[in-house]
Amino acid sequence: MGRPSPVDPTPAAAWLATAGGSAPFVGTAGGLWLLEGAWRDYLYLTGLNYALASLAFLGALHLGLALGAAARGFRQHGFWWVVPFLPAVAGLAALAGFVDYFWVVVLFLGAFLASHAADLRAVREGVAPAWYRTVRKWVTGVVLFWGGTFLVHAPVSVAG
């Protein structure tokens, strides 16, 4: 008879990375509620830049999952080779600056939620470890809080 499994099989390092990656979302969103003037503008732009950079990171993560799955002999649909590039393309479109801040946040949230769906599929198909679903749900909750806060405090436009 083996030892009972831990209540939460998520590795401590994954939780630490989740907290570290989520902190800028929480910090910039919290700052928008607490600060005024130039600090609020600074936090808004910093939060947007971090959010868009995180899309590129998620794309790299998806590419790593696809490459790892291929190396383990998983037969994959072409979907897994397209998904890694969609977040970066969405981030590039937002950084182009031709839309209002409100729509930049909406574009980010759409790309982030599409990435979330891809992550859940990766866990379901055995491409990602089962604990990854738990971590991703926490990060998604934090990002939805961030997105709501940023939509409420959105300046009029990128140019303005």
Give the per-residue pLDDT at 158: 46
Predicted model pTM: 0.81
> How many whole angstroms separate alpha carbon 154 and alpha carbon 90?
19
User: What is the distance between the alpha carbons of residues 94 and 97, in angstroms, rounded to a whole number?
Assistant: 6
Average pLDDT, the chain: 82
Q: What is the pLDDT of residues 53-92, one digit of tens each?
A: 888 888 888 888 878 777 777 766 676 677 777 777 777 7
pLDDT in tens, 24-50: 999 999 999 998 888 888 998 899 889
